[in-house]
Structure 1
Amino acid sequence: MSNIVLRIQSAEGVKRVNCKTSDKVTRLFEKLQELFNIKEEFNLYKDRKKSEKIIRSEKRSLQSYGLVHGDILLIEWDEKQQQQDSCINGTNQVKYNAEKSVPPFKEDDVDLELEKEDGRTFRARNEQLCRHGPTGKCVHCVPLEPFDEEYLRNADPPIKFLSFHSYLRKLRSGVDKGKFVMLENISCKIKPGCLEHPPWPGGICTKCQPNAVTLNRQSYRHVDYVQFENPQIMDRFLDFWRKSGNQRIGYLYGRYEQHKDVPLGIKAVVCAIYEPAQISSKQSVKLNMSDPLESTVEDIAGRLGLQRVGWIFTDLSAKDLQMGTVEHHRGTIDSFFLSAQECMLAATFQNAHPNKCRYARDTFFGSKFVTVVVTGDADNQIHFEGYQVSNQCMALVRDGCFIPTIDAPELGYVKESSNEQYVPDVFYKLKDSFGNEVTSLARPLPVEYLLVDLQVAFPLEPSYTLNGGRDTFPVANRQSIGASQDFNTLSSYLDKYPAERLFDALNDLHLLVYLSTCDMIPLKGAVEELSAILKERDMDRLGSWLAREEWQTVETLRTAQAPTPVPNQNYVGPNAQPLPPIRSPQPDDQWACTHCTFHNTIGKEACEMCGLPKQ
């Protein structure tokens, strides 16, 4: 079992490989493939005369071939095919690097805008520290990079995380200017197609085995800020909890914009909240992941220029109804920020909405999908908290390696390998009681290692992409609190808006979804055009749309369904009308009880008062 060095003669020259006499021949072949970068089959001979060919085998060892320290082996392969493959791979790599500025897929508009931004923070000349002329630069006035740690630390308020584009600029700030930058997504699954051994659990090798994962706190975030356009959006969402006391989940629809308070930052602007079908209680929510209206909502939101940017859920318990206070459940040292189960759902949503990135080998990296929690703060007031889970958490959930614990919501658990699934080791670092940094196995795992927090707030000056008035159309899936969507509700809703405000009435996501899915109203095709008109705010086209046959049918149905007004009749004054005749009871209509003299109506065989028979 001694260590030996074998010399390998090839057309490229002589190379050396370290091995042991007890190593199998297959192990030697693997080392040679890596050493010479060979991607196809090759031949190995015991000497330069090719007198004996060494056959690839998992049973025979190097000692069985009589190989000793210093032996020279000859290796041959198809050089033309190897060169052709190398040229193709090199061409593809150069082509991809050249096309990084113009990726073959559609990135978000905000990413395209930030890619063109300079990103640096320019500083004026310091009269006290600068010793150069007005056109010169020194360390005291040179522009700061967007990833400058001192600048981020001294900002007001301090910036904890790099923006994603600042992180990309940092990767491309070296001498090579990011020529070899390629973002890799973590994989926790066995690589398929390995022919060296039976499939798991029959075997595994270093080629197909996923690497161990060491969890680190993510230094960047894909979204830096969540902004609701106006308070009415949140009030409309919280109205369900106020009326029922049950928790609620909703999807955030809006757009991504530049966030000027963070270098190269991105903010999610929320314009509407759609509530999918769900079963809610005071402590939990059961969400229907296959919502029948989901495709319709996505289509209409896209035509309005909106997209799904996140999800929101409530965790509220009333403390004092008269004071309007709520319990403080989260964010303390004895509680948690997000539970492990909520982290799993957030990671599932983020995996379903990947972030397109030109610097990623898989064309996507991370996600811009945000999580907003409505809960109570330390002052027992309703408070909003924003989070994202890290890319490492997304990979663990995507590959089925992460599960919640039963009794501790702040702890998750990385599954152990089984015959059905191989799970790599997952570690995280923490400090022990002596202050030493130790590495621990993620069984269990504090979910704080998986979270990235972000601010949630409202602007000083509200804006309204959609209707934000007091009179709004009922939200879908609220039958449990008596808020139904039907034609009577539609008619009553439209009656509240005069003709000059009909644009505001129609500019409602929930109304458009109802018009598109209502079988009674033939407006499914017309709503698509209406959504484009509302997006462009074209009043002329809206007038033409209202004159269409489909909408005129709605107006006709509203008119036919309207109740007939009852004329007011006045029996007093100069225009008095004669009183209607007073009908006196006829003796044939009633019969008097002989026992109690109560007058009963015809058809009664017993007295209604005393219960005795008629005769």
Structure 2
Amino acid sequence: MIIFIKGPTERKRLEINSHDKLYKKVQEAFNIESFNLSYDEDNQNKIDEKSTIPELNLKQGMTLYLHYEIIKKDIKREKDDFMCDHASNAMCAHCAPLDPWDAKYLEDKKIKYLSYNSYKEMCKYKNQDFIMEDYSVKKCTDHNRNIRCVNCQEKDILLNPQRYRMVDHVEFDDSNMVQNFIRNWRDTRRQYFGILIGKYKNYDLVPLGRKALVSGIWIPEQENYPDGFVINDKFEDDFLLDTGLEILGMIYTDLIFDGQMTSSKMKDDLFLSSLEVDFISKMQFMFPNFENNQLLNSKFVTIVATSNQNNEIELMEYQVSSQCMALTRNNLILPTSNPKLFYTEKNIFYKILQEDGTLKNVKAEPFLPVEYFIVRLTHGNKQNPLFLNSDFINNTISNKKLAEYFNEEYSIEKFSNFNLLMKLKNRFRNFNKFLKCIIEKNQEDFDKFLQEEEFQNFILELKKYFKKAWVCKACTFINEQNLERCEVCETANI
């Protein structure tokens, strides 16, 4: 079926089938995140996001209306009292809006990278193509396999420093979140790995910026060692379906306590090792960014909890460039025993900044500096937690500890602990719906879940491990082990 979607700035033709999800199709077609649909232009008769195509009673050639907030793409400037010589309702070169990629503005604000959306707008303005690098060998069908023509010959690769970043800032909505994660390392002195869960939002401190708003850290199944970790999980995110949350990135520790806090990076004087960059690149490929069915880098972010020069734990935030992703995808660069260098499998040239400010092409013969691919972000905390309870939950919590945690109080507030919820996600069939009602603080849906058989069985199971101390009325002995009779005089607990 063909329908039309009319938005604030454009109208698009959309082909849909009965099994399609309308909102997802519109999101892909218009490349927007927050929006709603309606049958009318005034947005009065709204379309429910959960409705299926058959339920909407759509007809061939029908027009639906798309509503979303249009973000101004230029940088607004106020009238300059010294430079502007005109009325308040006029405008001149000193107060006219700037393009979001304006170099002078970014330099004044100490912004090193363009935001992803600013870079796209700049490419559009300059009529330049914006595509992901692809260094795979093209196979010609015009000749035999043992012949190579100009089109299928391997070409030299010229690298350029990446001018933009996919995500500008990482924000944790609760400062206790990271401390609880690092506590796993403090308790065991073994390195830990976690997945950042949350949503992407606009970031106002960078023109057309984007931030990753982290609401929880999921610690998947893993083996932990003093010098690293082995991940035994496939990162299946079905439990996030319809919750509004998604996988944003990863966090891991690189800490060593040897009389004082330090790390492998301190010893080698580097940001990231070649092995880490290779790992980050492959993780970014696991969570790619697609726009109009085209691969364009990745929004996946990386946070490393490591030691700084003052021997304190510090968070460092990274992504790797799209060129790095393309090279590692084809195994054209490989980690080496020297953590600062990659070994190159092809003729690769990269640019370095000389003392006079000019760029010079240098051939990797055959080693390439790791830092060439690193893209730095910023991070911060804002105390506005989505999950209200930030109590530390041990990574290997037992039923006995769970019983102590709940203390026979099964409320939304008790369940509103992301670490706890991740320990329970495999115990309930419709966990994503349960997670959604916790996020939305929907008491009515929560009460319904508590009445379901599997939740009742869960509560009954914990009751076996819950031991509440009681005072014997006969001899006043405080009993902690035996719940039915006094350990001293055997008087019944009434």
What TM-score, normalized by structure 1, do the two folds share? 0.63
> The residue matched to 2:438 in structure 1 has which SS?
helix
Alpha-carbon contact 1:354-1:364 (below 8 Å) kept = yes
Q: Distance in 2 between matches of 1:136 and 1:434?
A: 42
Code of the residue aligned with 1:428 in structure 2: it is Y
Matched, 1:489 2:398: no
Alignment pair present for 1:429 and 2:313: no
Letter matched to residue 280 of structure 1: N
Q: Structure 1 counterpart of 2:414, which letter?
A: A
Partner of 1:342: 276
- 2:429 alignment partner in structure 1: 524
In structure 1, the residue matched to 2:417 is: 508
Give matches, 1:56-455, under 5 Å. Answer: 104-105=28-29, 107=31, 109=33, 116-155=70-109, 158-174=110-126, 178=127, 181-198=128-145, 202-288=146-232, 291=233, 294-295=235-236, 298-320=237-259, 326-327=261-262, 330=265, 335-358=269-292, 363-406=294-337, 408-415=338-345, 424-430=346-352, 437-441=360-364, 443-455=366-378
How far residue 209 of structure 1 moved from its aligned partner, in angstroms, is 3.4
* Alignment match of 2:437 (pick from 533, 536, 540): 533
Aligned-pair CA distance for 1:145: 1.2
Per-residue deviation, 1:318: 2.1
8 Å Cα contact 1:114/1:264 also seen in 2: no
Amino acid at match of 1:311: M
CA distance in 2, matches of 1:255, 1:376: 28
Listed one character per residue, the Cα deviations across residues 258-304 of structure 1 (whole Å, up to 9, x for unaligned) are 1111010001111111222322222222333xx16x32xx1223343
* Aligned counterparts of 1:389 and 1:114: Cα–Cα separation in 2: 31
Q: Deviations over 1:74-127 (max 9, x none)?
A: xxxxxxxxxxxxxxxxxxxxxx99789977557462799999311222222223
CA distance in 2, matches of 1:425, 1:208: 16
Distance 2:312 2:100 in 1: 36
Which AA in structure 1 matches 2:352? L
Q: SS in structure 1 opposite 2:297?
A: strand
C-alpha distance 430-552 of structure 1, shift in aligned 2 (>3 A)? closer
**How much does 1:558 deviate?**
3.5
- Opposite residue 112 of structure 2, the aligned amino acid is K
- Matched-pair contact (CA < 8 Å) for 2:387–2:439: no
Paired AA for residue 369 in structure 2? P
Instruction: Return closer, same or farther for 1:303/1:403 CA change in 2, 3 Å cut-off.
Output: same
Q: CA deviation at 1:245?
A: 1.1
Q: Distance in 1 between matches of 2:354 and 2:424?
A: 60
Give me the whole-angstrom Cα distance separating, in 2, the residues matched to 1:251 and 1:442: 37
CA 1:204–1:489 in structure 2 vs 1: closer, same or farther (change >3 Å)? farther
Counterparts in 2 of 1:551-570, with a 5 A limit? Answer: 551-563=455-467, 568=472
Once the two structures are TM-superposed, the CA of residue 570 in structure 1 deviates from its matched residue by 5.0
Larger Rg: 1
| Paired residue total | 429
Question: 1:465 aligned to 2:386?
Answer: yes
User: Is the CA contact 1:427–1:442 (under 8 Å) kept in the aligned structure 2?
Assistant: no
Distance 1:413 1:448 in 2: 14
What's the offset of the Cα at 1:469?
2.9
Residue number in structure 1 paired with 2:51: none
Q: Is the aligned partner of 1:474 residue 2:394?
A: yes
Cα gap change, 1:172/1:410 in structure 2, threshold over 3 Å: closer, same or farther?
A: same
Do the aligned partners of residues 114 and 388 (structure 1) sit closer, same or farther apart at CA in structure 2, a change above 3 Å counting?
farther
- RMSD after superposition: 3.3
Q: Distance in 1 between matches of 2:365 and 2:35?
A: 35
Residue identity in the other structure for 2:221 = A
- Kindly provide the CA deviation profile for residues 547-571 of structure 1, in whole angstroms up to 9, marking residues without a partner as x: 3333233333344554586652656
- Cα distance change, pair 117–405 in 1 and its aligned pair in 2 (3 A): same
1:433 and 1:220 mapped to 2: Cα distance?
Answer: 24
Alpha-carbon distance in 1 for matches of 2:204, 2:468: 58
8 Å Cα contact 2:341/2:368 also seen in 1: yes
Query: C-alpha offsets along residues 349-385 of structure 1, whole Å, 9 cap, x if unaligned?
Result: 1111111224xxx522011111111111122211111
Following the alignment from structure 1 to structure 2, what is the Cα–Cα distance between the partners of residues 304 and 375? 32
Distance 1:455 1:440 in 2: 31
| 1-structure distance, mates of 2:456, 2:83 | 74
Q: Cα deviations across residues 549-599 of structure 1 (Å, max 9, x unaligned)?
A: 332333333445545866526569xxxxxx98xxxxxxxxxxxxxxxxxxx
One-letter code aligned to 1:137: M
Please point out which of 436, 447, 450 is paired with 1:546.
450
Give the distance between the partners of 2:207 and 2:415, measured in 1 at CA: 38
**Deviation for aligned residue 1:166:** 0.6
Question: Structure 1: how far apart are the matches of 2:376 and 2:68?
Answer: 22
Q: CA deviation at 1:396?
A: 0.3
Deviation per residue, 1:169-189 (Å, 9 max, x gap):
111224xxx5xx542222222
SS of the equivalent of 2:117 reads helix
Q: Cα 1:566–1:143, aligned 2, differ >3 Å: closer, same or farther?
A: closer
Structure 1 contact 431–438 (Cα < 8 Å) conserved: no
Stretch moving more, 206-215 or 379-388: 206-215
**Cα separation, partners in 2 of 1:352 and 1:133, compared to 1, 3 Å:** same
Partner amino acid, structure 2, of 1:196 = H
Tell me, which stretches of 5 or more residues in structure 1 are unaligned?
A: 1-95, 416-423, 476-483, 573-578, 581-615
User: Are the counterparts in 1 of residues 241 and 432 from structure 2 also a CA contact under 8 Å?
Assistant: no
8 A contact 1:228–1:269 mirrored in 2? yes
Match of residue 612 from structure 1: none
SS, match of residue 172 in structure 1:
helix
Question: Cα distance 1:105–1:350, how it changes in 2: closer, same or farther (>3 A)?
Answer: farther
- The equivalent residue for 2:56 is none
Q: TM-score, normalised by structure 2?
A: 0.78
- Offset, 1:142: 0.5
Superposed CA deviations along residues 421-452 of structure 1, whole A, max 9, x for unmatched, are xxx42111236899983422252000111111
Contact 2:400 2:466 in 1 (8 A): no
Amino acid in structure 2 at the alignment position of 1:372: I
Q: 1:115 to 1:446 in 2, by over 3 A?
A: farther
CA distance in structure 1 between the aligned counterparts of 2:413 and 2:166, rounded to whole angstroms: 34
In structure 1, C-alpha distance between the alignment counterparts of 2:69 and 2:115, rounded to whole Å: 13
